[in-house]
Amino acid sequence: MTYAKYSASGNDFVIFHSFVDRDFTQDAIKLCNRTEGIGADGFVALLPCDSANFRWRFYNNDGSNAAMCGNATRAVAHYAYNNNLAPSKMKFLTEAGVIESEIISEDVVKTQMTQPTVLDEGFEQEGFSWYKIDTGVPHLVTIVDDLEKFNHDLCAKMRYEHNANVNFAKIEDGKIRVRTYERGVEGETLACGTGMVACFLRANELKLVGDKTFVYPKSNEELIISKVEDKIYFQGAVKRVFTATLG
Ligand SMILES: N[C@H](CCC[C@H](N)C(=O)O)C(=O)O
């Protein structure tokens, strides 16, 4: 079987396509393992679909399932286009609904994200003010003046107590810097797309950023998030790092 290793702003994935649908949990755990596998934050299987260009099964590094993954939508779109599985403007089915992605240039992909749902307008805990929103998967957001306040153990506690990814955001000159602790990776990732969108929506609601701005995750790669009427777009570069054919 041939697998592609992708990096989407540092959030990395093992991607392949199959005509046979099945449970890929064990494949995900084995291939995402960073010492004995290819190593990645997530695993995506592309499968045939009658109502869209394809559908996907997404798994976190630990084999857990997630409805959506913003960075994986960009990597998967690049994979599908370059493997002649979809045109440059494509639609694919995820557990969070139909996702539309577009190849903007050779390595830049733009995704229309799902409609968000605010889950909690605000609460105080552990000395921080939190906002909870579903941007395809659930996220906690706190806006801070220093990203060094991001703490693994605090994030783990909040992750398990609220069953959500945990984001610390700092606003600098109308741009956003984000650090994210991800469910299913159980640690900080170099980027989290739905997390960056969650932070953008909170900052935009508080009028700390405009309707279009640059967002920088832990990897410091530059992404663009914009809101046009009620649609939210997430744009940035992806890289196919290598392909591996495993027996
Ligand atoms: N770990 C997340 C799913 C992947 C989200 C992230 N990698 C993104 O780019 O949106 C969860 O289980 O809720």
Q: What are phi and psi of 197, to 5 degrees?
A: -65, -40
Strands 54-60 and 89-94: parallel
The mean pLDDT value for 145-159 works out to 98
Calculate how far, in angstroms, residue 144's C-alpha sits from the geometric centre of ligand 1.
22
Domains identified in the chain and CATH numbers: 2-112+236-245 (3.10.310.10), 117-229 (3.10.310.10)
Q: What are phi and psi of 79, to 5 degrees?
A: -60, -50
The confidence score (pLDDT) of residue 214 equals 98
Measured distance CA(46)–CA(245) in Å, rounded: 17
Using a 10 angstrom Cβ sphere, with 0-12 exposed, 13-18 middle and 19 or more buried, the burial of residue 19 is exposed
The mean pLDDT value for 5-14 works out to 98
Determine the angle formed by the axes of helices 193-205 and 70-82, rounding to 10 degrees: 130
The confidence score (pLDDT) of residue 105 equals 97
**Two tokens at 88?**
């440059």
The pLDDT tens digits of the residues spanning 163-180 come to 999 999 999 999 999 999
Give me the interface pTM, i.e. the ipTM: 0.95
Measured distance CA(62)–CA(51) in Å, rounded: 30
Pocket of ligand 1 (CB under 6 A): 11, 60, 66, 69-71, 137, 165, 182-185, 192-194
> Of 32, 155, 192, 199, which residue is the catalytic one?
192
- Write the CA distances from 100 to 6, 90, 91, 113, 219, integer angstroms: 19, 6, 4, 8, 25
The pLDDT tens digits of the residues spanning 19-76 come to 999 999 999 999 999 999 999 999 999 999 999 999 999 999 999 999 999 999 999 9
Among residues 153, 149, 110, the alpha carbon closest in space to that of 128 is found at 149
Q: What are phi and psi of 175, to 5 degrees?
A: -115, 165
The confidence score (pLDDT) of residue 176 equals 98
- Residue 247's pLDDT band (boundaries 50, 70, 90)? confident
